[in-house]
Structure 1
Amino acid sequence: MASAVDSKSMKFILNTGHAMPAVGLGTYRMRDQAEVLEVVDHALSAGYRMFDTAAVYRNESFLKEAFRILLPRYDLDRDDIFITTKLSPSEHGRPGAIEKAYSASLQNLGTDYIDMYLVHFPGTPKYSIDDKKNTELRHATWESMVELYDRGIVNGIGVSNFTNYHLELLMERNHGVVPAINQVEWHPFYYQMELLDYCKANDIVLQAYCSLGGKSVSNNELLLHPSVTKIAVTLGVTNAQVLLKWALEHNVAIIPKSTNPVHIKQNITLNFDMSPEDMRVLDNLSNKNSVKYAWDPRGVV
């Protein structure tokens, strides 16, 4: 990760050679055209240049319209932003399905290429999590993703919600392309240093979602935790900023989601230092409050 004081300009250099902004905007549950337009407007104004979506979010076409209207307004081109989207788990392994799904996302987003295309989940709804067909479908899916990458029609491919187990199986098959990123739930109540270490050792960038804990499911236990509040007050920043900065300090990329203009700006304004003691306090929160709020890939064979 390149060092930079301004969090708006922080980048991760991917194993593809491309640079990915360290801070992006998540768009989970943004399913209204007017809302997406307003949020993207605030995000571009605040300095965001990375936007994360997925086929299952059903808002790719809303982003297309927002980019069509707003990029010229900010004197930006398509190449000035980084777009990530994800393959639906229901498409795993089916012949021709991955290329068809990718083409649909291209059309929905109104672009000739996607910067990062992810396998959204290691399992598929077709089979129970303990069915070994998940493994074979996952490898078939990755082979198709590699074909897209080798043909040069996607800038990078990666995975989401993969555990060490899933990554190790993928690497053992030696498909020829290592995932550029692994996007997972990551916050002080739930994180796995062994996963981060594995990703670092294999030149895979770890990217966090649910950085604020269970806020998306109306659970503010982490966000309002006394330890988080104490650090925030001392530093003169918000609790959310503390949690986001914690991830960046671990060299983990972030994609905070907000529809609030003030929060959107705050979430990318992370130009402050956290002490080793602050980091230690937050690291230790998982020892007493380990809890996962989102999609759980554990147990998927």
Structure 2
Amino acid sequence: MASSDPIIPTTFVLNNGIMMPSIGLGTYRIRQSDIVMQVVDYALEAGYRMFDTAAVYGNEIHLGEAFKTLLPKYDLEREDIFVTTKLSPSDHGSRAEQAYQKSLENLDLEYVDLYLIHFPGGAKLPAEDKRNTKMRELSWCKLTELYDDGKVNAVGVSNFTVAHLEGLMESNHGLVPAVNQVEWHPYYTQSSLYKFCKQHHITLQAYCSFGGTSCSNNSLLNDPVVVSTALKLEVTPAQVLLVWALQQDVAVIPKAVHPEHIKENRSLNFKIPEEDMKALNQLSEKNVKYAWDPSIVA
């Protein structure tokens, strides 16, 4: 039986002292303005205070409209929510600062709480092109300047491997990313990346927590180990997958559009027993990846 005590972390302290909610709402592929408005409404009502978007999602304007409309409805101020957006691969390098300002304009905000480099490679460069490294470092330099100037509360990266992180940290900019947002679920755990980020106080944030649901693949949600654990704890498979991450100090940003799923994904007041965690961890032997692969980027 699931416990009623709040066991999972509700916030993570980033390496610059900023508090980030442990559970946020992912908005990938939620593009219609009316749907965005409904989803944000459901989420705020359910207690979500973190919202994740990106320039390439094409919904920043709609999110901005939703925040402006709905925060007063719930007696909330801008400071009560945590907003993340990301630098598009097409804006890598010298355009990074201009791209950030465009995102602020779209979101109708004076700042975002977390700004990430979305991908280690540039949009128009082959993955193996060595210019990706220089472009990535220039983007990080621009993000560091934004942070130093107080224009953003924290900066980080997404889809970065250990090699990408090492290269960034060896550059002369001196700022360690606060967050690395990556694909991370029982089928794909990236253990060496997990250890590296722990060692360097980089918070891991998982996307694709439910596996390949964005491409209509429910294999992970239907996995016998996940299903049996859910039945044992009297919760849903989706809840099991989210708590599995949170128990390992990995933040989550599950995407949902239905109100019951939005609420369910934040109702995570239970702990997975050690033997069940072990069984879930063993699923990593499948090594199934659903999203884009950064490991091939120079």
Same fold (TM over 0.5): yes
Q: Distance in 2 between matches of 1:98 and 1:131?
A: 20
For 1:137 and 1:169, locate their aligned partners in 2 and report how far apart those are by CA, in whole Å.
12
Unaligned runs of 5+ in 2: none
* CA apart distance, 1:200: 1.1
1:189 pairs with 2:204: no
Q: In 2, Cα distance between the equivalents of 1:8 and 1:70?
A: 27
Q: Identify which range, 168-177 or 270-279, moves more after superposition.
A: 168-177
Q: What's the counterpart of residue 48 of structure 2?
A: 48
- Contact preservation (8 Å) 1:8, 1:48: no
Task: Name the structure 2 match of 1:101.
Answer: 99
For 1:152, the aligned partner's letter is G
For 1:7 and 1:42, locate their aligned partners in 2 and report how far apart those are by CA, in whole Å.
24
Give the secondary-structure state (helix, strand or coil) at the position aligned to 1:298: helix
Alignment match, 2:25: 25
Superposition pairs of residues 245-260 of structure 1, within 5 angstroms: 245-260=243-258
Aligned to 1:137: 135
For the residue of structure 1 that corresponds to 2:294, the secondary structure is: coil
1:60 aligns with 2:77: no
Q: Percent identity?
A: 58
Which residue of structure 2 lines up, in the alignment, with residue 299 of structure 1? 296
Deviation at 1:127, TM superposition (A): 1.1
Offset at residue 268 of structure 1 (A): 0.6
Question: Which of 173, 176, 179 in structure 2 is aligned with 1:178?
Answer: 176
For structure 1, list consecutive stretches of 5 or more residues without a partner in the other structure.
Answer: none
CA contact (8 A) 2:8 2:243 kept: no
Whole-Å separation in 2 of the counterparts to 1:204 and 1:197: 10
Amino acid at match of 2:274: P
> Is contact 1:7–1:268 with CA below 8 Å preserved after alignment?
no
Which of 214, 223, 229 is the aligned partner of 1:225? Answer: 223
Contact 1:7 1:269 in 2 (8 A): no
Q: Check conservation: 1:161, 1:297, Cα contact below 8 A.
A: yes
**Structure possessing the higher relative contact order (Cα contacts under 8 Å, 6 or more residues apart):** 2
Equivalent in the alignment of 2:88: 88
Alignment of 1:143-182 (within 5 A): 143-182=141-180
What is the alpha-carbon distance in structure 2 between the residues aligned to residue 45 and residue 14 of structure 1?
A: 26
Compute the RMSD of aligned alpha carbons.
1.1
CA contact (8 A) 1:227 1:282 kept: yes
Q: Is the 8 A contact 1:23 1:48 kept in 2?
A: yes
In the aligned structure 1, how far is the partner of 2:29 from the partner of 2:215? Answer: 11
- Cα deviations by residue, 1:65-119 (Å, 9 ceiling, x for unpaired): 111111000000000000000000011113xx11111111111111101100000
Match of 2:124 in 1: 126
Contact 2:8/2:246 (8 A) holds in 1? no
1:116 matched to 2:109: no
Q: Deviations over 1:29-88 (max 9, x none)?
A: 001000000000010011100000000001000001111111000000000000000000
Counterpart-to-counterpart distance in 1, 2:194 and 2:186: 14
Q: CA deviation at 1:175?
A: 1.3
2:208 maps to which of 207, 210, 226: 210
Asked whether the equivalents of residues 8 and 269 of structure 1 are also in contact (C-alpha less than 8 Å), the reply is no
Task: Specify the SS of the correspondent of 1:207.
Answer: strand
Residues 144-191 of structure 1, C-alpha deviation per residue, up to 9 Å, x if partnerless?
A: 110111100111100000001100111111412110000000000011
Q: Quick one: distance in 1 between partners of 2:7 and 2:97?
A: 35
Matched AA of 1:181: V
Amino acid at match of 1:247: A
Match of 1:70 in 2: 70
User: 1:8–1:47: 8 Å Cα contact kept in structure 2?
Assistant: no
More moved, 189-198 vs 250-259? 189-198
State whether residues 48 and 268 of structure 1, in contact with CA within 8 Å, keep that contact through their aligned partners in structure 2.
yes
* Contact 1:31/1:58 (8 A) holds in 2: yes
Post-superposition offset of 1:237: 0.1
Structure 2 counterpart SS, 1:100: helix
Q: 1:194: Cα distance to partner?
A: 1.3
Q: Tell me what 2:14 maps to.
A: 14
SS of 1:206's equivalent? strand
The amino acid across from 2:208 in the alignment is C
CA contact (8 A) 1:52 1:85 kept: yes
Runs of 4+ off more than 6 Å: none
TM-score (norm 2): 0.97
User: Is the contact made by 1:163 and 1:298 (CA closer than 8 Å) also made in structure 2?
Assistant: yes
